[in-house]
Amino acid sequence: MPTKQRRYPIKNKDVKQIIEEAQHKLGLNLEELFDVKAGVEVVESEVALIYLISGKPVIYKINDRLLPTLLFSEFLTTAPKVVVDMGAVPYVCKGATVMAPGIVRVEGEFAAGSLVLVVDVKYGKALAVGESLLDGAVVRQTKKGPVVKVLHYVGDKVWDYIKQLSD
């Protein structure tokens, strides 16, 4: 478990930049969802930069890429979903690319390169956030090959660190 961390509030001008970048990447207006004036903090760790909005770990930045966390409920409810069978779950939870044979259905519309949520068919639980390698319409027709590159998943270093922050 990473031990080095630094937690501090972000200046208003930096908040605006982060909010705009997140809005562009996620398609969600964070200012409407959260009281950003109440404060945005950043936790610098060995794992990633984790942004807390109103004390909630919503987004993180790793390798100059901004991504939603699996605890960002507003993203989880609005994101397009790729539903996988239970046989794919252990692989997705280890960061494996989602392959077409493991997909049961696709919910929502998205373009190649879009962020999608990977959920299991039995419980509808969020397993991962990934980048779609194909358009949603193509995914529905595809029978083989890679479909979603997993970027953040249950049990990865960021997930474990965020869970530690939340405790």
What digits encode the pLDDT tens for the residues 37-57? 667 899 999 999 999 988 889
- d(C-alpha 114, C-alpha 136), whole Å: 10
- d(C-alpha 156, C-alpha 132), whole Å: 19
Q: Model-level pTM?
A: 0.90
- d(C-alpha 125, C-alpha 83), whole Å: 10
pLDDT tens digits, one per residue of 109-118 = 999 999 999 9
Domain extent at residue 33: 5-72
Residue at a domain's end among 25, 41, 72 = 72
CATH number at residue 79: 2.30.130.10
